[in-house]
Amino acid sequence: MSRYTYLGPAGTFTEAALTPLLKSGDSALPAANVTAALESVRNGDSDYALVPIENSVEGVVARTLDELAVGEPLMIIGEQVLQVSFALMVKPGVTLRDIKRVATHPHAEAQCREFIAKNLPHAEVVMTNSTAAGAESVAKGDADGAIAAEVAATHYGLEVIERNIGDRNGAVTRFVLISKLGTIPALTGHDRTSLAIFIAADHSGALLEILTEFAVRGVNLTFIQSRPTGSELGQYHFIVDAEGHIEEERVGDTLKALHRICAEVRFLGSYPRADKVAPTSTKGMTDSAFQSADKWLSAVRKGERA
Amino acid sequence: MSRYTYLGPAGTFTEAALTPLLKSGDSALPAANVTAALESVRNGDSDYALVPIENSVEGVVARTLDELAVGEPLMIIGEQVLQVSFALMVKPGVTLRDIKRVATHPHAEAQCREFIAKNLPHAEVVMTNSTAAGAESVAKGDADGAIAAEVAATHYGLEVIERNIGDRNGAVTRFVLISKLGTIPALTGHDRTSLAIFIAADHSGALLEILTEFAVRGVNLTFIQSRPTGSELGQYHFIVDAEGHIEEERVGDTLKALHRICAEVRFLGSYPRADKVAPTSTKGMTDSAFQSADKWLSAVRKGERA
Amino acid sequence: MSRYTYLGPAGTFTEAALTPLLKSGDSALPAANVTAALESVRNGDSDYALVPIENSVEGVVARTLDELAVGEPLMIIGEQVLQVSFALMVKPGVTLRDIKRVATHPHAEAQCREFIAKNLPHAEVVMTNSTAAGAESVAKGDADGAIAAEVAATHYGLEVIERNIGDRNGAVTRFVLISKLGTIPALTGHDRTSLAIFIAADHSGALLEILTEFAVRGVNLTFIQSRPTGSELGQYHFIVDAEGHIEEERVGDTLKALHRICAEVRFLGSYPRADKVAPTSTKGMTDSAFQSADKWLSAVRKGERA
Amino acid sequence: MSRYTYLGPAGTFTEAALTPLLKSGDSALPAANVTAALESVRNGDSDYALVPIENSVEGVVARTLDELAVGEPLMIIGEQVLQVSFALMVKPGVTLRDIKRVATHPHAEAQCREFIAKNLPHAEVVMTNSTAAGAESVAKGDADGAIAAEVAATHYGLEVIERNIGDRNGAVTRFVLISKLGTIPALTGHDRTSLAIFIAADHSGALLEILTEFAVRGVNLTFIQSRPTGSELGQYHFIVDAEGHIEEERVGDTLKALHRICAEVRFLGSYPRADKVAPTSTKGMTDSAFQSADKWLSAVRKGERA
């Protein structure tokens, strides 16, 4: 029986992403924000936290990246990718034409602007702190309609009258499942390794050096973001996602090289990819190639024929 | 007399960043969001738009990056960097202890959480669509205090009772000044060049190749972000800021190389850096080194002694 | 009617390599050594010189490389590759068993050692200054047999009694045809460009930088030799052969980059490859890709949509 | 008591280079050529062989490079660098003006051409198989003078009448001391590591990859030569000398990487440099940086805070 927390409130996309992970007996509590969710894992109130890390339309979730990179260390042990689908929901019996006030979160409003302009041109849009809070305000009678995740309708006894109303269908959000440091998920063959890499200040060419260490070992990157370190613009660290698992030799060897040349490397986790894409393996980069090289060097160092 | 627009509403940090740019006779109108501000330049309603692009705490402004990278082409012609300083403001005469409801934008709330917990532990925090809207709600009597940019107090006749209440002082926001394509600002010697670089799908090692083109010409990067192209996670383009001006040979030569090897390169502008930091020039990378190489090759191709 | 010189004496492999180049009316004079052959072109006594540059068994011809790299500038305008085939030759009527003294050049002796050990185990091997001089000594009666190029038998009225007696059949020598600076041979599509590249002293990593300039422009190397500069071991320059012709954009662009970053680059010639192998052309590295990038940059610098 | 062999005959520069290595009781026998010297070590007739590998004027000794790279494996355990100084020697009492025939090896003739032209303009130059053989022919009365290493005068009872007669003074030759595979000389802090690196055929960019593996580990090269593999021009392997000792982590790690990505890597030896130049150590490339990275990775793989 595990205790989960997630970026709340209840009725949001994060809850929708968490639901498939829950087993009988597990508990799931919403947290007020990403920091609170992660703090709950740090202080032992929760075993796991699910928080968004990247949205295909809105970009990365800076708070999540920063908490993982510079907060008290935690570990990513899994990821969930969710198709973001906005629904228009009302009290049972209300119709589109009855909606005078529509409540939603600013990000959802931004993603459904075309729908609103076309279908609710005269409605007042009321901003709420989350899409679920929009649904709640409909339940309370403060608004006539809410734009939210479909799961919110269930929570607040509402009825969905339009589905997939986002301007760009196909928007997805990636969530990461966080635990304390501990056992790394086993290698599956389709894994991702996340890192925070800090470079020494004013070291021009540092990013090229970092990417070269990955490249010479055949490790592809799937994601890179520079993030300001501390409060100053101009000093950066990098969050990268790489193909592969820390137990693989080429990934471990890359990490060791980064540890040598960077100011700091923080391992953020190795975990199965939601899309189950396996890395293309390159000749000379397999575990057996690394092990064979170890044996060869040992023999050569003894002056043996190798 | 120029017509400016900016990310509104009035009374926000963007307006504060715009103010020093305005000359007598210039007009400045707030826009509802980044897209609306840029659209106003595209359709000729405004000459220039000022929008945020990066915040040292909250991260990049994805909407700005995406509009510049994939929207109808525009050009960055300047940047402003503003120290983000939150102020607590009330109706004249109201004191800290009188505040029962405090209104602000979620991002500001996130950055002032420690102040609120310590100084307004019992106040209800009401979310508004902008910090200026928080100030407006105080003026209307819907809240007792607002956390906003100091400029908002002037707009709404309020009184600042606490300054610099952010949890991390020193947070800064970088704003970019946008115009239609046209004359590029003149080279100053301390310039920045922004680019959107699109790579062919599934081309592993592409980022290393891109960075190598910069490195072999001595052009340092000051910023890099991978951004999903379209709505799918997994296909990325890169927004980079490089030292130098497109009129400099090494920058122009780098751009030509990128144009050859990338699916697409979009020039987003060359403009003076707000921090006036000049690039360190490297031997062999100066304009005269490039011009001397041109002459040398011409002579050599003619079979002359060179 | 052209005047040729070649590494003499008459009757050597260099003469054999030159023969197919001669047209009716051309003259061909042997020179005492590589330096004398090249000097003959420099001072106008000859139009062209043919000298060996590389042998698959004995290695590079250091004198040729050094004359081209640091002597008064000349230009390679062609290459000839000759299968090196040693023949045993005698005065008419003499048989293998009659040979008590066999004359040849030390390099030829080194390459025919197995044949000598097996077939002439009791013969005295007399060293001569060239293989042709060995044949001459047979003609004069100073030796009974000579190991030389077959062409020498004709010169000295000898009879070949064994052919292809080298221990490693298939040895080849590459010769280069040298002229004064002047018109570079026209591009054929299967060309080679030779360069001497001098690096600044004590610049570690310089070779990697040089090779990177070739690689980013898709120019492959077919040959590289470090050569000591001057008389000291430890300070080096590089002789490289690259695929392609200086008139090609990617080759010209590489040369310009080398000119910028190296202490000195000396162009040694662009000329058709003897093996007629065309370079594999890479996307983004064609002449039209370079020209299109030039046009694009011009438009972008004017602030045009490109 | 060790048994040495060297590139003979007695009285050459190789013997001069060997002399300082000999201890009381050691024997030193000349071999007819480089192959014979190395074969003597292979078959146990000698413990060590001293052979030339590189001359600052004449270039590399291809036979030595090829024997080490593709012959039955041996190991370089030391190097000697000798200033090459040619002397003119005669029978006691003979003067410069008496010399009608001067005997020497073609390479020595090439390096003393200016001296000969100026001081012996009318003398016949007779080629011998070695400079020592030139001295021997003076002793036998076949020539009046010899150009050879000074040591040859002692061997053949001759008198040196001119010293340092080379056209380019300061020419040096590097000799390598060879043993069977076995104990590698201990690390001294100013070591050199020699390698033969074979690449897969037609793998363009392979040399850049190889150099990158050295560069990312801060290992500088002091020498590189491409050598044709087998008898064909066009397929190459590389002989490289790198700073450092195989017992050093950065060197061992580089070797392992090369072993993974190359067709074959042959370790040719780690041994003290004659010039005693120590490599510049780079941050992150020390043994302790490698060991610290090993420990760090072990801890991180266990999910520990590291």
Domains of chain B by residue range = 1-84+170-182, 86-162, 184-306
Cβ–Cβ below 8 Å for B256 and C297: yes
Cross-chain residue pair A305–D181, CB shorter than 8 Å:
yes
In three-state secondary structure terms, A255 is helix
Superfamily of domain D1-83+172-183: Periplasmic binding protein-like II (3.40.190.10)
Region A1-84+172-183: CATH code: 3.40.190.10
Which range has the worst mean pLDDT, A202-211, B168-177, C189-198, D160-169?
A: A202-211
- C-B interface (Cβ pairs under 8 Å ≥ 3): yes
**In chain A, residues 153-192 whose CB comes closer than 8 Å to chain D:** 181-184
pLDDT average, residue stretch C25-36: 90
Give how far B166 is from chain A: nearest CA, Å: 11
Q: Which of B106, B168, B221 sits opposite A129 (nearest CB)?
A: B106
A253-257, C231-235, D234-238: segment of lowest average pLDDT: C231-235
Q: pLDDT digit string (tens) for C3-20? A: 999 988 888 889 999 999
CA angle B259-B242-A260, nearest 5°?
A: 105
pLDDT at A35 over 90: no
What confidence score (pLDDT) does residue D128 get? 79
Q: Nearest Cα to D270, choosing from C234, A290, A302, C226?
A: A302
For chain D, which chains pass the contact test of at least 3 CB pairs under 8 Å?
A, C
The verdict on B297 touching C (C-beta cutoff 8 Å) is: yes
- Collect all residues of chain C within an 8 Å Cβ-Cβ radius of residue D231: 56-57, 168-172
In chain A, what residues touch D303 (CB-CB under 8 Å)?
75, 181-184
| Per-residue CA distances from B84 to A184, B130, B164, C64 (Å) | 40, 14, 8, 69
What are residue D120's phi and psi, to 5 degrees? -130, 50
Which among D106, D205, D231 has CB closest to C170? D231
pLDDT at A76 over 90: yes
Candidates D127, D224, D227; nearest CB to C207: D224
Q: Is residue A251 within 8 angstroms of chain D, CB to CB?
A: no
Contact C54 D233 (CB under 8 A): yes
Contact C63 D110 (CB under 8 A): yes
Task: Summarize the confidence of residues C113-141 as an average pLDDT.
Answer: 88
Q: Which of D206, D180, D183 is nearest to D265 (CA)?
A: D206
Calculate how close chain D gets to A78, using CA atoms only, in Å: 15
Give the distance from CA D194 to its chain's centroid: 11
Which residue in D has a C-alpha nearest to residue A306's C-alpha? D266
Interface partners of chain C (CB pairs < 8 Å, 3 or more) are B, D
- Closest partner residue to B225 among A106, A208, A225, by Cβ? A225
Which of D260, D297, D302 would best serve as a mutation to test chain A binding (most A beta carbons within 10 A)?
Answer: D260
Q: Is the pLDDT of residue B3 over 80?
A: yes
Tokens of B275: 């921090």
b/e per residue D140-174 (b: at least 16 CB within 10 A): eeebbbbbbbbbbbebbebeebbeebbeeeebbbb
Q: Which of D57, D223, D227 sits opposite C231 (nearest CB)?
A: D57
Residue B249 token pair: 């040979």
Confidence of residue A32 (pLDDT cuts 50, 70, 90): confident
D252 in contact with chain A, both atoms CB, cutoff 8 A: yes
Under CATH, to which class is C1-83+171-182 assigned?
A: alpha beta
Instruction: Record the tokens describing residue B192, joined without a space.
Output: 């920045």
Q: State the pLDDT confidence band at B304, using cuts at 50, 70 and 90.
A: confident
- The H or E element spanning position D35 is helix D34-42
pLDDT at A28 over 80: yes
- Confidence at residue D202, expressed as pLDDT on a 0 to 100 scale: 53
Dihedral through CA A17, CA A22, CA A27, CA A28, nearest 10? 0
Q: Quote the percentage of chain A above a pLDDT of 70.
A: 94
Q: Minimal Cα–Cα distance from D124 to chain A, Å?
A: 51
Task: Please judge whether C58 and D56 are an interchain contact, meaning their C-beta atoms are less than 8 angstroms apart.
Answer: no
Tokens of D276: 């005693």
Burial B228-267 (b: 16+ CB within 10 A, else e): bbebebbebbbbbbbbbbbbbbbbbbbbbbbbbbbeebbb
Q: Give B208's contacts in chain A (Cβ within 8 Å).
A: 208, 211-212, 214-215
Mean pLDDT of B3-15: 89
Domain covering C184-306 in this structure, CATH number: 3.30.70.260
B1-84+170-182 and B86-162, same CATH topology: yes
The class of domain C86-162 in CATH terms is alpha beta
From B59, B231, B280, residue closest to A57, measured CB to CB: B231
Mark out the alpha helices in chain A (DSSP H runs).
Answer: 13-18, 34-42, 62-70, 106-111, 113-119, 131-139, 150-156, 206-216, 249-261, 287-301
CB contact (8 A) between residue C169 and residue D280: no
Q: Number of helices and strands (H, E) in chain C? A: 10, 15
Token pair recorded at residue A4: 């989960």
Lowest mean pLDDT among A58-62, A89-93, D179-183, D280-284: A58-62
B296 pLDDT more than 90: yes
Please count the other Cβ atoms lying within 10 Å of the Cβ belonging to residue B93: 7
Which residues of C are less than 8 Å from D110 in CB distance?
A: 33, 63
| 33-92 in chain C: CB under 8 A from chain D | 33, 54, 56-60, 62-63, 65, 81
**Per-residue pLDDT tens over the stretch C41-57:** 999 999 999 999 987 66
Residue at token pair 């990312």? D216
> Cα separation of B174 and B79, whole Å?
7
Nearest to D86 by CA among D21, D8, D173: D173
State the smallest CA–CA distance between residue D57 and chain C in angstroms: 6
Report the distance separating Cα C40 and Cα D70, nearest Å. Answer: 39
In sign, the C-alpha dihedral spanning D124, D125, D128, D133 is: positive
D299-306 average pLDDT score = 88
Find the closest chain A residue to D284 by CA distance: A260
Q: Which chains, if any, share at least 3 CB pairs under 8 A with chain B?
A: A, C
**Res. B232 pLDDT band, cuts 50 70 90:** low
**Interchain CB contact of D202 with C (< 8 Å):** no
Question: CB-based contacts of C5: which residues, under 8 Å, 6+ apart?
Answer: C28, C29, C30, C31, C37, C40, C41, C45, C46, C48, C49, C50
Q: What is the pLDDT of residues A144-155, one digit of tens each?
A: 999 999 989 999
Subunit contact B212:C212, Cβ cutoff 8 A: yes
Chains D and B touch (3+ CB pairs under 8 A): no
Contacts of D301 in chain A (CB under 8 A): 184, 246-247, 252
The answer to whether residue C293 neighbours chain B at the CB level (below 8 Å) is yes
At D104, phi and psi to the nearest 5? -165, 175
Rounded to the nearest 5°, which phi and psi values hold at C123? -75, 145
Report the pLDDT averaged over residues D140-152.
93
Residue D181 pLDDT > 90, yes or no? Answer: yes
Residues of chain C contacting D223 with CB distance shorter than 8 Å? 226, 236
Question: Mutation test of the interface with chain B: which of A109, A226, A229, A273, choosing the one with the most B Cβ atoms within 10 A?
Answer: A226
Average pLDDT across chain C, whole number:
89
Query: Is residue B220 within 8 angstroms of chain A, CB to CB?
Result: yes
Q: Which residues of C touch B306 (CB under 8 A)?
A: 267
For residues D259, D261, D265 and D270, what is the CA-based torsion angle, rounded to 10 degrees? -60
Architecture of domain B1-84+170-182: 3-Layer(aba) Sandwich (3.40)
A128 pLDDT exceeds 90? no
Chain D residue whose CA is closest to C277: D234
The reported pTM is 0.85
Contacts of A300 in chain D (CB under 8 A): 246, 255, 267
- Cβ pair D168:C231 closer than 8 A: yes
Q: Please state, rounded to an integer, the average pLDDT across all residues of chain B.
A: 89
Q: Nearest Cβ partner of C172 from D65, D204, D233?
A: D233
